[in-house]
């Protein structure tokens, strides 16, 4: 097996370092660069398990001697940065010690018959990543983000998704009207009306719509709904966090298949 090229970079003004910093800290830089930054060994390992091949692996100097044992053949090109420079690039409060650069998948088209999750202006990156993990875990194969939702491939969403991105057909920036092309029933969540989730006959496949953290599902998408569903909350809370609600609803659908 050919050994990868290893390059040490020490300048924060290096062009590669500047691009990497943008990927790590700018939530939409991936759109311009056509690649994404996966930081941390857990996320990198999850990507490899999903069949991803990084174009570049990046390590901090203190980690590289040990990392060679497991990661030396992970990518055709390896960059080693001083610990302080890696920390400067990192988007994490406690920087990891390694990361991968992976090419962004080619643009996808809407699969009209796929079990789908629709993100209707869900804006918190942690919520979006968590919903992607639930979608993958419970048998959904497509996630569609309506305009106004968090950037699906941002570093924060990638960290929260923990590899789920690479198991899903992801589309972002769609107009609500584009969802009319779906040939599966549209289910919307509501905190005050609709059928109780634990009593509803859930169709499969289907498309669950998860709404904005404060405003919920938009009237435009609610008007397209086949079913309105609410989750019983015997403890009396007014509403659930959208990621928690998504996990409950998607699990219920998966279990009812």
- Reported confidence tier of residue 128, pLDDT bands at 50, 70, 90: very high
Per-residue pLDDT tens for 143-155? 999 999 999 999 9
Nearest to 165 by CA among 148, 151, 182, 181: 151
Domain boundaries 5-103, corresponding CATH code:
3.30.1330.30
Domain edges within the chain: 5-103, 116-255
Report the pLDDT value the prediction gives residue 127, as an integer from 0 to 100: 97
Instruction: Answer whether CATH 3.40.1280.10 is correct for domain 116-255.
Output: yes
Q: Is 49 exposed, middle or buried (0-12, 13-18, 19+ CB in 10 A)?
A: exposed
- Reported confidence tier of residue 110, pLDDT bands at 50, 70, 90: very high
Q: What is the mean pLDDT of residues 39-62?
A: 94
Separation of alpha carbons 132 and 163, rounded Å: 9
Q: What is the mean pLDDT of residues 26-48?
A: 94
- Reported confidence tier of residue 1, pLDDT bands at 50, 70, 90: low
pLDDT-above-90 percentage for the chain: 81
Per-residue pLDDT tens for 171-203? 999 999 999 999 999 999 877 778 999 999 999
Q: What is the mean pLDDT of residues 127-154?
A: 97
Is pLDDT larger for residue 47 or for residue 238?
Answer: 47
The whole-chain average pLDDT of the chain stands at 93
Residue 83 contacts residue 61 (beta carbons within 8 Å): yes
Concatenating the DSSP letter of every residue in 122-139 gives ---HHHHHHHHHHHHHTT
Report the pLDDT value the prediction gives residue 5, as an integer from 0 to 100: 86
What are residue 120's DSSP bridge partners? 211
Separation of alpha carbons 75 and 65, rounded Å: 16
In the predicted model, is pLDDT for residue 14 greater than 90? yes
Residue 123 contacts residue 63 (beta carbons within 8 Å): no
- Reported confidence tier of residue 225, pLDDT bands at 50, 70, 90: very high
Q: What is the pTM of this model?
A: 0.92
Q: What is the mean pLDDT of residues 45-53?
A: 92
Q: Which of 116-130, 170-184, 213-227, 230-244 has the least mean pLDDT?
A: 230-244
Report the pLDDT value the prediction gives residue 157, as an integer from 0 to 100: 96
In the predicted model, is pLDDT for residue 233 greater than 60? yes
- Reported confidence tier of residue 76, pLDDT bands at 50, 70, 90: very high
């Amino acid at each position: 097996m050919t050994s990868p090229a290893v390059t040490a970079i020490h300048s924060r003004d290096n062009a590669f370092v500047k691009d990497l910093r943008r990927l790590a800290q700018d939530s939409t830089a991936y759109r311009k660069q056509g690649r994404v930054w996966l930081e941390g060994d857990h996320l990198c390992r999850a990507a490899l398990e999903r069949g991803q091949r990084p174009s570049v692996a990046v390590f901090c100097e203190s980690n590289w001697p040990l990392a060679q044992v497991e990661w030396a053949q992970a990518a055709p090109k390896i960059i080693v940065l001083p610990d302080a420079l890696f920390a400067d690039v990192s988007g994490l409060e406690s920087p990891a010690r390694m990361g991968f650069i992976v090419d962004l998948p080619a643009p996808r088209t809407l699969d009209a018959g796929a079990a789908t999750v629709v993100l209707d202006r869900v804006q918190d990156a942690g919520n979006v990543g968590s919903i992607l993990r639930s979608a993958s875990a419970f048998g959904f194969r497509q996630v569609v983000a309506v305009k106004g939702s968090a950037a699906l491939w941002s570093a924060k969403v990638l960290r929260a998704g923990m590899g789920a991105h690479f198991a899903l057909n992801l589309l972002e920036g769609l107009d609500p009207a584009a969802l009319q092309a779906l040939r599966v029933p549209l289910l919307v969540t509501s905190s005050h009306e609709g059928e109780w989730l634990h009593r509803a006959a859930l169709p499969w496949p289907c498309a669950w719509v998860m709404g904005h953290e404060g405003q919920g599902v938009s009237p435009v998408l609610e008007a397209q709904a086949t079913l309105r569903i609410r989750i019983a909350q015997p403890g009396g809370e007014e509403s659930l966090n959208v990621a928690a609600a998504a996990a409950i609803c998607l699990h219920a659908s998966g279990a009812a298949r």
